[in-house]
Amino acid sequence: MEMKIGAKLTELRRKKGLTQNQLAEMLGISAPAVSKWENNSSYPDITLLCPLARALDTNVDTLLQFEETLSNEEMEEKMNALLESTLQEGYEAGEQMLLHLLHTYPGSSALKFNAAAALDAFHIFFPTAGEALHKKWMNQKKELLTGLRSSGTPAYRQQATLQLAFMAINDDELARGEQLLKELPKHSVDTTLAWFRLYIKKNEPEEALKLTQKRLYSLLGQVQFCLTSMMSSQVTEDHAHALKICEIYKTLDKTFGLGGMYDGLFLDIYIRMERFDEAAACFVRYVDAMIREPVLPKRELFSPGLTIKERKPAASKELRKMLLTGIEDEAFKPLLKYPSCIEAIKRLKACT
């Protein structure tokens, strides 16, 4: 079988930030020779394989693409076997198995990440192993994560950076921990706990409180979205089940002060169930909720983290227009026989 290593060479060279000329100079050869390797027109001399691997911060197996890979199922199986062996035979057996796996699959980001977790497990399994051994495992974990941070896949690189930040904060290297956290793209991984620990270590409890309040508010918004999606007609036709979810949404809303617009959800379900008396009552309350002053998030939970501003009315003009347009839909026609709904429509039009 013909061996083609050109694409791998190009990938490794670019990752190192080297030009073909620079790589050639490091190896004492001509730039056209490197070009021919990358075009698969020729191959490196066997005597150049080790210097080439060193220049590209890799090993010969990876260079020649002889490296084995692991599926997710194989990874889980091997890590379970590692932990079981460690528990039954001691940490020496676990260390040997871990070292063997890392040598067998040197380019596997997933394995390195799981190996770091296994070293955490060694700490838990053997709390009395001694300070020196625990320090060795911690250094091994840091080395694995540092390698992932510099050359791992994006997802593992971000997780490795977050864990290194945790380690720095726990070691009172607060400036280092903060620097690592700031490297992470926003919304890529949840850094809340790491920032919380950092602020507490820096004796900045108010910043820790603000951070937690903002995260709580964000998570509640995600929960609201999930509940709304679960009761959608596109997801379930079980109206009774949808009503139960709606009750949960209402409880959440009232507990945290999230806007008080839940009657719009009940309205949709009651119309689908053709329970028009209840739908009419919900419609009236929904309109009143749209034109009144807003229900604000509870200050005891969200202040000073959130800047809570008074707004009038609770719903935007665009949202009120959307409701007026929706009333023209055939599904709303049964509500027009209720005087209370007619009056509610008038109030809505008056402030739109």
pLDDT digits (tens, 9 = 90+) for 130-140: 999 999 999 99
In this prediction, residue 309 carries a pLDDT of: 60
In this prediction, residue 274 carries a pLDDT of: 94
- Is 199 in the same domain as 222? no
Q: What is the CA radius of gyration of the chain?
A: 30
| pLDDT above 70 for 65 | no
Query: Lowest-pLDDT range, 19-33, 117-131, 284-298?
Result: 284-298
| pLDDT above 50 for 1 | no
- Is 253 in the same domain as 323? yes
In this prediction, residue 346 carries a pLDDT of: 93
Report the CATH number at residue 148: 1.25.40
Average the pLDDT over 51-56 and give the result. 88
Is residue 277 included in any domain, yes or no? yes
Query: Lowest-pLDDT range, 8-22, 299-313, 338-352?
Result: 299-313
| Full residue range of the structural domain in which residue 121 is found | 72-205
Is residue 272 included in any domain, yes or no? yes
* 274-281 CB contacts, 8 Å cutoff, 24+ apart: 274/334, 276/334, 276/335, 276/338, 279/334, 279/335, 280/335, 280/338, 280/340, 280/341, 281/340
Q: Please report, rounded to a whole number, the percentage of residues in the chain having pLDDT higher than 70.
A: 94
Q: What is the pLDDT of residues 187-240, one digit of tens each?
A: 778 999 999 999 999 999 999 999 999 999 999 999 999 999 999 888 888 999
- Is 131 in the same domain as 223? no
Is residue 40 included in any domain, yes or no? yes
- Is 115 in the same domain as 57? no
- Is 133 in the same domain as 94? yes
Is residue 1 included in any domain, yes or no? no
Average the pLDDT over 291-304 and give the result. 85
Is residue 237 included in any domain, yes or no? yes
Closest to 72 (Cα-Cα) out of 103, 119, 118, 108: 108
- Is 102 in the same domain as 125? yes
Report the CATH number at residue 27: 1.10.260.40
- Is 104 in the same domain as 55? no
Domain boundary among 162, 186, 205: 205
- Is 92 in the same domain as 142? yes
- Is 140 in the same domain as 267? no
Is residue 225 included in any domain, yes or no? yes
- Is 29 in the same domain as 135? no
Domain boundary among 205, 233, 255: 205
Q: Please report, rounded to a whole number, the percentage of residues in the chain having pLDDT higher than 90.
A: 60
Is residue 199 included in any domain, yes or no? yes
Q: Which two tokens stand for residue 105?
A: 């699959």
Q: What is the pLDDT of residues 101-112, one digit of tens each?
A: 998 887 788 899
Is residue 147 included in any domain, yes or no? yes
- Is 221 in the same domain as 333? yes
In this prediction, residue 185 carries a pLDDT of: 87
How confident is the prediction for the chain on average, in pLDDT?
89
- Is 230 in the same domain as 161? no
Confidence class for position 152, pLDDT limits 50, 70, 90 = low
| pLDDT above 80 for 23 | yes
In this prediction, residue 233 carries a pLDDT of: 84
> What total number of domains does the chain contain?
3
Domain boundary among 156, 173, 205: 205
